[in-house]
Amino acid sequence: MLKKLEKLENKFKALVSKKEINLIEHNIIIGHIHPNDDMLFKIDGKYVEDSYLHYNKVGQSALKNIEDALEAANIKFSDIKCFLDLPSGYGRVLRVLQTKIEPNRITACDLNEEAVRFCNSEFGVEPLISNLDFNKINFNKKYDLIWVGSLFTHLNPKSFSILLEVLYSILNDKGILVFTTHGEYSLDLINDKRVYNMEFPEKEKIIEILKNEGYYYISNESSKEYGISICRTNHIFSEMDKKYNGKLKLLLYKYRGWDNHQDVYAFQRTV
């Protein structure tokens, strides 16, 4: 097995040395892969044989959740004039979405300027640099559809609320917000360093916090504003009802709906 991994690692390094990887020839991934896109090359910190298969699977899983949300709202992809992918990374999801939505209708937004530039040059989408202060992101339009894959999963409750308010403000009437969270399934993964690579307190303590508050957050050593969050479904529903009072209508909820890991929620703006 070690020899197999070493052989595969050398193969990927040879491809990376060419600055980009074209897996169109493999009929697996749409478009080129940027050499700094570690969503492809490493899973659990190692080069593995099916890493590019998993990369594609995650994108396809996002597409399926978005399709289901649109179907629940009786909306077609052709009705989507403006789509936001936040955070876009190097295009793991939008490279799949741009087969359904014209690239010039898609905005790629991320803190990583290199990733945003790559999405723009590779797929022809609109680039937008994000900001740690969500209120300072320079959104110049409103959106019919917003996908937020694995961002709420890293925010403390205050930042979670701020981001939600910002996203609500840039949704068109009847616009759809699809986002993911770490649900209670994540409790089974907290001791697996390959998944979160953080030191968590005892599981029973986290369960108690979730029982009392509905939301658990632990920050990275380098940042109090960014870490790992876990939230209960009833907490999300309660917060949405309390803050938006019917202004955001639930379209769907899927336990472990994204890549069999993160929970998926879809809401539609009604006012």
The CATH number given to whatever domain includes residue 253 is 3.40.50.150
Residues 32 and 71 in one domain: no
Residues 143 and 261 in one domain: yes
Residues 158 and 46 in one domain: no
Residues 175 and 71 in one domain: yes
Residues 188 and 240 in one domain: yes
Query: Residue 47: is its pLDDT beyond 50?
Result: no
Residues 40 and 81 in one domain: no
Residues 42 and 61 in one domain: no
pLDDT digits (tens, 9 = 90+) for 20-29: 444 444 456 7
Name the band, by pLDDT with cuts 50, 70 and 90, for residue 13. very low
Residues 155 and 196 in one domain: yes
pTM of the predicted structure, to 2 decimals:
0.87
Name the band, by pLDDT with cuts 50, 70 and 90, for residue 18. very low
Top pLDDT among 15 and 137 is at: 137
The average pLDDT across 86-112 equals: 97
The average pLDDT across 111-135 equals: 97
Q: Quickly list DSSP for the chain.
A: -HHHHHHHHHHHHHHHTTS-EE-GGGTSSSSEE-TT-HHHH-BTTB--TTHHHHHHHHHHHHHHHHHHHHHHTT--GGG-S-EEESS-TTTTTHHHHTTTS-GGGEEEEES-HHHHHHHHHHH-PEEEE--SSGGGS---S-EEEEEE-SSGGG--HHHHHHHHHHHHHTEEEEEEEEEEE--GGGGGTTT-TTTT-S----HHHHHHHHHHHSEEEEEETTEEEEEEEEE-HHHHHHHHHHHHTTSEEEEEEEEEEETTTEEEEEEEE--
pLDDT of residue 46: 54
Residues 82 and 47 in one domain: no
Residues 160 and 219 in one domain: yes
How many domains does the structure of the chain reveal? Answer: 2
User: Could you list the residue range(s) of the whole structural domain that residue 36 is in?
Assistant: 2-12+16-52
Residues 113 and 226 in one domain: yes
245 beta partners: none
Rounded CA-CA distance 32/48 in Å is 19
pLDDT digits (tens, 9 = 90+) for 127-183: 999 999 999 999 999 999 999 999 999 999 999 999 999 999 999 999 999 999 999
Question: Is residue 83 left, alpha or beta, with left meaning phi > 0 and alpha meaning psi from -120 to 50?
Answer: beta
pLDDT digits (tens, 9 = 90+) for 78-95: 999 999 999 999 999 999
Residues 105 and 39 in one domain: no
